[in-house]
Structure 1
Amino acid sequence: MNAKISFRNVSQTFPLKKSTFTALDEVSLDIGDEEFVTVVGPSGCGKSTLLNLAAGLATPTSGEVLVDGRTVTGPGPDRGVIFQQYALFPWLTVRGNVEFGLKLASVPAAERRLRAERAIGLVGLTDFADALPKTLSGGMKQRCAIARAYAVDPQVLLMDEPFGALDALTRVQLQDQLLETWSRDRRTVLFITHDVDEAVYLARRVVVMAARPGRIHSVVDVDLPYPRTEDIRLSPEFARIRNAVWTSVYHQTPAAPAA
């Protein structure tokens, strides 16, 4: 497997008043080109820290994070980041929000429009391109955020619990929408979630983290075909994998600190 993202012996510590908190401890992981990987684990296991390091929003205390074999030194257009909060500009339309990053990158107006329209179409918002965020549902706002990330043509999508604030039905609909978009326009995806079912449904591999300090507890292969469907979600094989991940998350022996 050619690694698109590599974490090499990555540790991340944060100073406290009288001590140091270790968010990640010697984490090593390779994510392949066009691979969809989800990360799940108990609270405080370092899931979001891992994503922030890949995004270049933080620098590891030790170790190295690489994308395409190059050390990550900061944010870049090769990596699109999508958070749980939509962070849309309320005074801009869907199209305006999606074009915003392209405008910052000095992309010519005609090309901006074409790329924005394509991204909006990928997430199924063509009929709402001229709508303001206040008129959109929560799910539509998140689709707009995904379109904005796609418009800058990133090679990697980094998603930090993007559906966590949505109701159950909208969440399932957006999972299917995301997989449909990914199948048409393949990217490498690192997707953080606290939902075991979501982790299994989306991924080729599920990375289970252990907390305090944050380490990789296990990696579970999801040998289910794409496209994923409701039948797959209800299948015995899905239940088997889901139960394996659930057990790994909620019945793990806490990781011991490195000597």
Structure 2
Amino acid sequence: MTSKPAKISVQGVTKTFALGREAFTALDDVSIDIADHEFVTVVGPSGCGKSTLMNILAGLDTPTSGRALVDGVPVSGPGPERGVIFQQYALFPWLTVRQNVEFGLRTTGVPKQERRARAEHFIELVGLEAFADALPKTLSGGMRQRCAIARAYAVDPSILLMDEPFGALDALTRVKLQEQLLRTWSRDRRTVLFITHDVDEAVFLANRVVVMAARPGRVYDVVEVDPAVVRDEAFRLSPEFAALRNRVWRSVYHQEGRTAALSGSRTDTPS
């Protein structure tokens, strides 16, 4: 009996970029398997290739060597089974919240009545029902990101690829969206790969935290988080969270005996 393939499989991926006459290696022989319904976060120092890895999985870039697979099929470009959410929101400014959420459904030919029903469902899911007819410019940063999440969910992807989606938000909004994302994930159990530079965020959200090392980018450590743990304020303040956080912190900041600076670090100070 053969085992079921991983939902996402990164197999020996190396990515190099030409820099004048030289080559820069962003990823070096990276291998990661992510099971169906798993929530995995990736954290690491600046230049470790987090976003490059995300772009390869999204089908927006190709590896120099190795391969990335989804459901056992090599990634050769973007696909509807992968919803991608970036830090920059990427909303159409001339469309309302509802129209933004309906956009992907319209381009795939979903009938108007079904399109509207699905959009309304996901707008309510992210708590924007009172702003369905608002334009993005009238929304806060957190509300725009919730709209982007609703739009990604509306096309019913089995995988969510999230590249620092809360990185530009204030601390309180960030915490609220983390908790909302986990509530949504607990209902439908999509497979999530979440890139972040925030150690606390990485530990709070994940079943597994993948720590990357830089220059060249590679997997440095993998930290397991008990999936049975309830992710709430009590967990954030618990000794268990502190222990996990400190392990990830040490892996990121003291790789191979050297200090690595996280890009955009703000509040992640060691206990």
- TM category, shorter: over 0.9
Corresponding position of 1:68: 71
Is 1:117 the counterpart of 2:156? The answer is: no
Give TM-score scaled by structure 2 length.
Answer: 0.92
Is 1:251 the counterpart of 2:254? The answer is: yes
Say if 1:254 and 1:51 are closer, same or farther in 2 by CA, change over 3 A. farther
Contact between 2:68 and 2:74, CA under 8 Å: does it hold in 1?
yes
Residue identity in the other structure for 2:107: L
Say if 1:18 and 1:151 are closer, same or farther in 2 by CA, change over 3 A. same
Corresponding position of 1:178: 181
Corresponding position of 1:236: 239
Aligned pairs for 1:85-164 (under 5 A) are 85-164=88-167
Q: Provide the rounded CA distance (Å) in 2 between the counterparts of 1:223 and 1:241.
A: 10
Task: Return 5+ residue gaps in structure 2 as ranges.
Answer: 259-271
- Which digits, 9 at most, give the CA deviation of each residue in 1:7-29, with x for residues without a partner? 00000000110210000000111
Corresponding position of 2:201: 198
Corresponding position of 1:14: 17
Give the superposition deviation at 1:224. 5.4
Corresponding position of 1:218: 221
- Which digits, 9 at most, give the CA deviation of each residue in 1:164-200, with x for residues without a partner? 0000010001000100111112100000000000000
Q: Provide the rounded CA distance (Å) in 1 between the counterparts of 2:139 and 2:48.
A: 33
Residue identity in the other structure for 2:182: L
Q: How many residues align?
A: 255
Give the superposition deviation at 1:226. 4.5
Corresponding position of 2:265: none
> Runs of 4+ in structure 1 displaced over 2 angstroms?
224-227
Identity %: 75
Residue identity in the other structure for 1:190: L
RMSD (CA atoms): 1.3
Which of these residues, 53, 57, 70, is aligned with residue 50 of structure 1?
53
Task: Return 5+ residue gaps in structure 1 as ranges.
Answer: none
Secondary structure of the structure 2 residue equivalent to 1:34: coil
Say if 1:254 and 1:155 are closer, same or farther in 2 by CA, change over 3 A. farther
Q: Provide the rounded CA distance (Å) in 1 between the counterparts of 2:231 and 2:123.
A: 22
Give the superposition deviation at 1:225. 3.0
Bigger Cα displacement from structure 2, 159-168 vs 128-137: 128-137
Residue identity in the other structure for 2:11: R
Give TM-score scaled by structure 1 length.
Answer: 0.96
Q: Provide the rounded CA distance (Å) in 1 between the counterparts of 2:162 and 2:191.
A: 11
